[in-house]
Amino acid sequence: MIIRPIKTHVFQEGDDLFAFITDYFKKLPEKSVVVITSKIVALAERRTAIAENAQMKEKLIRAESEFAIPTKYVWLTVKDGMVMASAGIDESNANGKLILLPKDSFKTSRFLRNKLREHYDVKHLGVLITDSRIIPLRVGVTGFALGYAGFRGVKDYRGTPDIFGRKFKFSRTDVADSLATAATCVMGEGNEQQPLAIIEKAPIEFCDKIHRKELHIDIQEDMYRPLFSKLPKPKR
């Protein structure tokens, strides 16, 4: 697998995202994946806010999340079925504003994929919108997929044999988040100014339609459920 980050000029709030992408790709190879950081998607949608104090920021976080409790450093929240810090609201590289998550990253991925396929005359193409998150009991952030289109987000091994013939009962690979983490690693989290990347030769299955809930797991089935059950109820 080959991942190439793209250094760009600074994307401004309200800029045209499709025009921005096409400025930096002369062509797109068949069976490639275009990676876009969620921050510029949100800026294109003008998903920004100004919080003059901590109370205003707390109100915004609560409004953007389905569940929110304070922790030592950030708010622990659930948004769109995903656990994340502060509902994904970010202050870094925001020039004094707060940048929210895009409104619907799956819808935007699908829209961009259709336009890019037509523009570059390619059949098999993936689009992946990424953000970063913290994994429990691990330091540092990794990438994850906020939305994607054009490829299956999960590879299912259940029912297939391992190298000794024993059938897998639970094993599935989270393809979308794995690609997002790999791309985020080379795109950077600081002042690298690389909000785009292209992935080639990825071991993925391209498709025209995806199930946007395929990565979600019911809380009753989640291995972290015993931990979640110990969390205090949020104060409203």
CATH code assigned at 29: 3.30.1330.100
pLDDT at residue 41, as a whole number: 98
Same domain, 127 and 178: yes
Residue 77 is part of which domain span?
A: 48-100
Close Cβ partners of 13 (under 8 Å, ≥ 6 residues apart): 43, 46, 48, 97
Asked if residues 120 and 97 have their Cβ atoms less than 8 Å apart, the reply is: no
For residue 68, what are its two tokens?
A: 């929110």
Return the SS3 of 127: strand
For residue 76, what are its two tokens?
A: 């622990």
Q: Is 197 part of any domain?
A: yes
Q: How many CB atoms lie within 10 A of CB 167?
A: 11
Which one-letter DSSP state was computed for residue 81? T
Angstrom distance (rounded) from CA 165 to CA 185: 35
77 bridge partner residues? 68, 84
pLDDT at residue 211, as a whole number: 92
pLDDT in tens for each of the 236 residues of the chain? 999 999 999 999 999 999 999 999 999 999 999 999 999 999 999 999 998 888 999 999 999 999 898 988 899 999 988 889 999 998 877 788 899 999 999 999 999 999 999 999 999 999 999 999 888 888 999 999 999 999 999 998 888 998 888 988 888 899 999 999 999 999 998 889 999 999 999 999 999 999 999 999 887 888 887 876 766 565 54
pLDDT at residue 135, as a whole number: 86
Same domain, 118 and 190: yes
Same domain, 90 and 116: no
Number of domains the chain is built from? 2
